[in-house]
Amino acid sequence: MKTGRNYFAILTEAHTPANTAGIIDLSPSFKVEKSELSSPIAIAPATGVAGYLTVTFAGTYAVGDLVRLTMTSNGTSRQQWRKSYVVNVQAGATSVTAIAAAFAALVSADVSAESPYATAVNAAGVLTITQEGDDKRALVGYTYTDSAAGTMVNVPTATVVSEGQPSDLVDRGVEAADINLASYDTVRIAYAAESAIPFIDSKGATVKEIYWYGTVGQGSLLVTLINA
């Protein structure tokens, strides 16, 4: 199913959808012809966990070595964030702990509502950078050093994308005051509503995407209902 730019959300609690003579009730107040619904995708609720990069510095660095960490992300904006951080190893700061601390300070200086970072911390030469938010798998890191004996290795841990949590519903336009459960099943549905389009070669439908939120356990039943 292609994700359309136009969508709307339906919130229904303690409701079991049914097909009555070809009409599916997505909620007690929203009923449509089964033929207008297609490509349902059920998504189980998941508590989001922001992804992070673990950059481990090891070996022996020398004064003058160049160390670079570049990161990209589309997690906080439609525009791609890309920024490189460079540390030139200085006398008295050649240890891996000192180098990781320098990067932690550089990245931490950029932590803000607009940046893709939530935190950047160093622990004995291991730099951990956590992305802002849990709605996307967004943060990517690239490493480089010209050191002859020092190394840096980046290991990404992917975001567990938040699904069906109250914050996700609010993001989709549901009023917070209407949300009463701790989590919800999510079903994404293509909705081709019949409409009077005055062109002989048109299909006569306006396509939108529905984000259906219901009681846990009802999502898979709805998918079966639409596909049957």
pLDDT at residue 78, as a whole number: 79
Among left, alpha and beta (phi > 0; psi -120 to 50; other), residue 103 is alpha
Let me know the angle formed at the C-alpha of 49 by 108 and 212, rounded to the nearest 5 degrees.
Answer: 130
Per-residue pLDDT of the chain (228 residues; tens, 9 = 90+): 344 458 999 999 999 999 999 999 999 999 999 999 999 999 999 999 999 999 999 999 999 999 999 999 998 887 899 999 999 999 999 999 999 999 999 999 999 878 999 999 999 999 999 999 999 999 999 999 999 999 999 999 999 999 999 999 999 999 999 999 999 999 999 998 776 555 555 555 678 899 999 999 999 999 999 999
CA distances from 152 to 33, 67, 146, 199 (A): 58, 8, 11, 61
- pTM score of the predicted model: 0.80
Locate the DSSP E strands across 132-227. 140-145, 150-157, 185-194, 205-214
Q: For residue 109, how many other CB atoms are within 10 A of its CB?
A: 12
Please report, for the chain, the start and end positions of each structural domain, with discontinuous segments joined by +: 7-47+163-227, 52-157
